[in-house]
Structure 1
Amino acid sequence: MGQSQGKDRLSRRQGRSRAPSGSCPLGGEMPLPSWAAAVDEDLLGQWALNLMLMNVSTRKFGGAVRLPGGDIPAERGAGVTRSAVSRRFVALSAETMKAWMAADLSALDLLVIQIDGIHIAQDLILLAAVSVDGNGDKHPLGVMEGASENAAVCQALLDNMVGRGLDPAVCRLFIIDGSRALSKAIRNSFGRSAPIQRCQVHKARNITERLPKSLHASVRRALRQAWELDDADKAETLIRNLARRLEREAPGVSASLLEGLDEILTVTRLRLPTELRRSLACTNIIENMNGTIRRVCRNVKRWRDAAMALRWTGAAMIEAAKGFRRLKAHNQLPSLRAALLAHQAECAVGAGLDPVREAA
């Protein structure tokens, strides 16, 4: 019996001295399970994408994925070098961009679409679109590259959205910065009666920048008074009076003030509540997103091509969407829906009368 007990004790000691399966031998290094999991291609790719969107450079990636002590050794081929991180970011951002630009839009109840240009480089402009649904939630829709905001680029972006399920027969409010090419493309795709609102902030800025400083305060005050009026006819009269007052001192500015006057007062003509009108009279939604794009892209020192700009901008737009809040006046969106339906019905009746008038 004593010999049997001795053998049992010896076997237990030998069992404790053996390294468990999947661990290091005695005297070696114990591999960290979390690090082994991080070496996985998909996880490291997501890690690289997230850190680069947080402005961590590829040179600092190896230190960013380690513990605060920074003493976890990365073996050769572990995938934390500058070039490996860059390759992962390129591959994952391209895959994300492709899936995003092909996502179905038919299930979204979109009431508002804002479109604006983003200047990436001297000869490269990206056209981006953001929407607001019936609940006030915001959605980035897409981005398209071009040398300028010309009609071809605008049409390509709109065609992409229509091809993904955006019904052109549904009346929506479009908010733009004032590009004529964009207005033309919208009316080609969504009908001549599509309501388009030009950004009032852009308009006021463009006007005051061309005036002497002595006129800035009075012109801003007059424009603000016109924007706040509930009656579109009175607002238009006020703007025309301002244009006549500027004819002597700045005739070119006077003509610019009247250009696109109908589109400047679209939200007023729709008779929207004041708070909702203020939210939809400018492109602030997309301007805020542009701030995120500039922050994400500030580490890029040289844009190699349009594909690179699209990948970075698309990733930044998706990142910005994580911080989107509901529209401030989302409780008043039912009034916008009713106004759009009434506008569509009125335009349909007017279109039906035109052939009768022509025949007469």
Structure 2
Amino acid sequence: VEVPRFYDKEERRTEESSYYKLLHEIAKPSEIILKKIIKGLSQRDYEEVTRSVLESFGISQSSISRAFIEESKKLLEEFEQRDLGEHDFIALVIDGKYLSHENIVIALGITMSGVKAPLGFIQTTSENSEAIKGLLKNLIGRNFRFEEGLLTIIDGSKGLKKAVKETFGKFTLTQRCQWHKRENVVSYLREEEKEIYRGKIQRAYNEPDYET
């Protein structure tokens, strides 16, 4: 919030929000806590995750009911075990993101109607093919259908490409993410040239054919 205040028209005065101030006084989770949360998610130790979240905000276990911990554990389990068969996925986006210096590979599905749905994720030291295949096989085990054709979008990683090919075979068409490709190209340019060539590359992407 750029201006953390509000104006009282009746009293004709400006006041600071005490609740907003309290939010800023909450200590940020430590790196140790964040790693515990990530480890719990990747190993499906959902109860440990919820306990770690409570620790990160300085909340003692005695101040939270067991019902909250059990309900949070249940929701995380449901997310990781959802049946994907009810959706008609036509595309799959796979990308790695860093959270507290840990690499998390995320699988995002896109349905026939254009709805994006997070499907699953794993923690891995690198985007190696064996780890990614484990993620993809988990999706298939949850009835992720791909036999009618699937567009897979990745960042260009050889490990990702190999895992996708070995898992989905002839049923998938793999495309390198345009954003990753564009940023890889402009990374070799001087700072003052980057925005110029970002625009040129994006305009090239938007062309319907190569004849213009």
Write the mapping of 1:90-105 to structure 2, written as runs, cut at 5 A: 91-105=70-84
Q: Residue in 2 aligned with 1:146?
A: 124
- How many residues of Structure 1 are paired with residues of Structure 2 in the alignment? 159
> CA separation in 2, counterparts of 1:230 and 1:114?
22
Deviation at 1:86, TM superposition (A): 9.0
Q: Residue in 2 aligned with 1:107?
A: 86
Deviation at 1:142, TM superposition (A): 0.9
Q: Residue in 1 aligned with 2:198?
A: 220
Q: TM-score, normalised by structure 2?
A: 0.64
Q: Residue in 2 aligned with 1:57?
A: 57
Q: Residue in 2 aligned with 1:200?
A: 178
Q: Higher relative contact order by CA 8 Å / sep ≥ 6: 1 or 2? A: 1
Write the mapping of 1:153-164 to structure 2, written as runs, cut at 5 A: 153-164=131-142
Q: Is the 8 A contact 2:156 2:177 kept in 1?
A: yes
Identity %: 30
More helix by share: 1
Write the deviation string for residues 192-230 of structure 1: whole angstroms up to 9, x where unpaired.
462222221222222212211343244224312320110
2:188 to 185, 210, 215: 210
Q: Is the 8 A contact 1:113 1:130 kept in 2?
A: yes
> Match for 2:88: what amino acid?
D
Deviation at 1:120, TM superposition (A): 1.8
> Match for 1:172: what amino acid?
L
Q: Residue in 2 aligned with 1:310?
A: none
> Match for 1:113: what amino acid?
L
> Match for 2:94: what amino acid?
I
Distance 1:105 1:230, change over 3 A: same
Greater C-alpha radius of gyration: 1
Write the mapping of 1:278-297 to structure 2, written as runs, cut at 5 A: none
> CA separation in 2, counterparts of 1:179 and 1:86?
44
Write the deviation string for residues 69-115 of structure 1: whole angstroms up to 9, x where unpaired.
xxxxxxxxxxxxx2233976654443322232222111211122212
| Residue ranges of structure 2 left out of the alignment (5+ in a row) | 1-49
3-state SS in 2 of match to 1:219:
helix
Provide the alpha-carbon RMSD of the alignment.
2.8
Q: TM-score, normalised by structure 1?
A: 0.39
> CA separation in 1, counterparts of 2:181 and 2:88?
29
> CA separation in 1, counterparts of 2:151 and 2:72?
31
Write the deviation string for residues 35-57 of structure 1: whole angstroms up to 9, x where unpaired.
xxxxxxxxxxxxxx7xx79xx93
Deviation at 1:132, TM superposition (A): 1.9
3-state SS in 1 of match to 2:172:
coil
Q: Is the 8 A contact 2:93 2:108 kept in 1?
A: yes
Q: Residue in 1 aligned with 2:40?
A: none
> CA separation in 2, counterparts of 1:107 and 1:172?
16
2:149 to 163, 168, 171: 171
> CA separation in 1, counterparts of 2:67 and 2:211?
58
More strand by share: 2
3-state SS in 1 of match to 2:97:
strand
> CA separation in 2, counterparts of 1:89 and 1:142?
23
Q: Residue in 1 aligned with 2:96?
A: 117
